[in-house]
Amino acid sequence: MKEKGLVRAFIAIQLPASIRERLIREVQAPLKQLPDKITFVKEENIHLTLRFLGEVPKEKLNELIRILDETEFGIPPFELTVKGIGFFGSRRSPRVIWVGTETKEELNALSQKIDQLVRSVGLPKRDHFFSPHLTLGRVRHTRDGEKIANILEKHDFSDRFTVDRFVVFKSQLTCEGPIHTALFSKRLQGGNDEEKR
């Protein structure tokens, strides 16, 4: 049974609707024609995770949001290119389908600063290196992983957008997939637009 007072949460960058629509149309659609069992991320849930928090006490999450709100990050809005399609796992058995991003100093700085603030409220440190990517699907079962790999390797996806804020999301797991609800939004280089929480 889920412990009372815990909230499953993460901090992420939202993508413009135009890019999410392209990812669905150009990357997911060809894979949906395959007989393999792949769970695809819904369009509204495609995002760039800066820090997954997991199940955290509501009081800790509120404290973190307060600190994020009060902190001046000193990072101006920046352009970020979404490019490159790949997968975690082997060619015979791909597990996670993703689209990457360019290496960007501002993105790494934002991730590191958020990680410092997360740790400052007593939450665990990151258990892996920051590897920015957009998860598009998870392969549950395949008889021919090579076919999936070949489709992904033949596609060359690229798009660009301005990162001007990040969002704290609550993630509720349901039998029909996760429901992500924005709790707080922070503009880069001063200001915020906090939502109800």
Q: What is the DSSP letter of 26?
A: I
Residues 28-84: pLDDT tens digits? 999 999 999 999 999 999 999 999 999 999 999 999 999 999 999 999 999 999 999
Task: Report the candidate in 100, 104, 124 with the shortest Cα–Cα distance to residue 52.
Answer: 124
Q: Among residues 39, 41, 46, which one has the least CA distance to residue 133?
A: 46
The active-site residue out of 133, 141, 155, 180 is: 133
Rounded to 5 degrees, what angle do the CA atoms 16, 18, 23 make? 100
The pLDDT value recorded for residue 195 is 44
Question: Exposed (0-12), middle (13-18) or buried (19+): which is 179, by Cβ within 10 Å?
Answer: middle
Looking at residue 125, its pLDDT comes to 80
Residue 28 carries which DSSP code?
A: I
**Does residue 141 have an active-site annotation?**
no
**The pLDDT value given to residue 4:** 60
pLDDT at site 1: 37
Q: What is the pLDDT of residue 194?
A: 46
The CATH classification of domain 6-187, taken from the options 3.20.20.150, 3.90.79.10, 1.10.3720.10, 3.90.1140.10:
3.90.1140.10
Cα–Cα distance, 6 to 139 (Å, whole number): 29
Contact 50, 186 (CB under 8 A): no
What DSSP state is assigned to residue 23?
A: I
Q: Is there a contact between 182 and 195 (Cβ–Cβ < 8 Å)?
A: yes
pLDDT string in tens for the chain (197-residue length) = 345 689 999 999 999 999 999 999 999 999 999 999 999 999 999 999 999 999 999 999 999 999 999 999 999 999 999 999 999 999 999 999 999 999 899 999 999 999 999 999 998 887 778 889 999 999 999 988 999 998 898 888 999 999 999 999 999 988 888 999 999 999 998 444 444 34
